[in-house]
Amino acid sequence: MYHRIIANMISHVQCRSILNRISQPDNWFGLWYNVNLYRGCSHRCVYCDSRSECYSIENFDGEILVKANAIELLSDRLPRLRVKGTIGTGSMNDPYQPLERKIGLTRRALEVIAFNHFPVHVITKSDLVLRDIDILKEISKVYSAVTFTITTVDNSIASRIEPGAPSVEARFEAIRELSMNGIHVGITLMPILPFITDSIDNLNALIEQASRCGVEYIIASFGVTLRDRQRDYFLRKVEKLFPGMGSKYSRQFGSSYLCRSSNAEQLEVVFTEKCHVQGISTSMPVHDPLDTGQLSLF
């Protein structure tokens, strides 16, 4: 499927398609389409599911594949779509990983999306998204949302489990600026790592900081999913970063796909109540392309 030109761990590839149709309904984000402009990610988050064998991404942390013809394909495809549903990006990698600063593939894709009047939802860990606030404001005439993944307010933990990502403070400041510019902005509080980030104190502090920055919604999941080579990678990393933790996961969860925090029920109660007090929704407003101009909550 790909033609590779490898140089300095960056491969420019030619792909056959760029836009994937999502099975409906998408009860999390209200997406109709998904686009991934890169393969692989330099944020190196220890829990990333994209390392799983089912995605067939070799050397996920060491080589970034740049889909060189992505803009051409997107420009050709969007005018021919009958349903102008929300286009999501950020499911398989971060569209604003450091390489984007130089290459600008995400920005060019947003320009095409804006030109064709499609709504968009960006998931990221990077404040680099602020570079494109002008285009996001233009797209917001239809609908635009940016969701930041934040799993902890503790930078000493974040820097270990998300070593290539911008600081937590940078993400919160980006949230503040996007909110001030009228763009839908929220947080995916996922994954919650059992024994590492699943404390009530971390949850309360994160929601309070989110409220101060103008977050509109927080979507949470109180555990982490692990499978095949992703599990192996994760266990090796947490054992090194938090000695004894890999063994603890193995004893507690074995080969289970869903590793849910033993504190999950209490966390969910606290999360729901705290968000209600702070005026934060626990679902995001989504654009319904079949009812133009209307937003609904999932």
Provide the pLDDT for residue 20: 94
SS3 226: coil
Whether 252 and 259 have beta carbons less than 8 Å apart is answered as: yes
Provide the pLDDT for residue 135: 98
Structural domain boundaries in the chain: 5-286
Question: Which CATH superfamily groups domain 5-286?
Answer: Aldolase class I (3.20.20.70)
Provide the pLDDT for residue 2: 34
Cis bond before residue 25 (omega within 30° of 0): yes
Regions of the chain short of the pLDDT cut 70: 1-8, 292-298
Provide the pLDDT for residue 61: 72
Cβ density class 228-244: b for 16+ within 10 Å, e for less: eebbebbbebbbeebee
Cis bond before residue 191 (omega within 30° of 0): yes
Nearest-angstrom CA–CA distance, 207 and 215 = 9
Provide the pLDDT for residue 296: 62
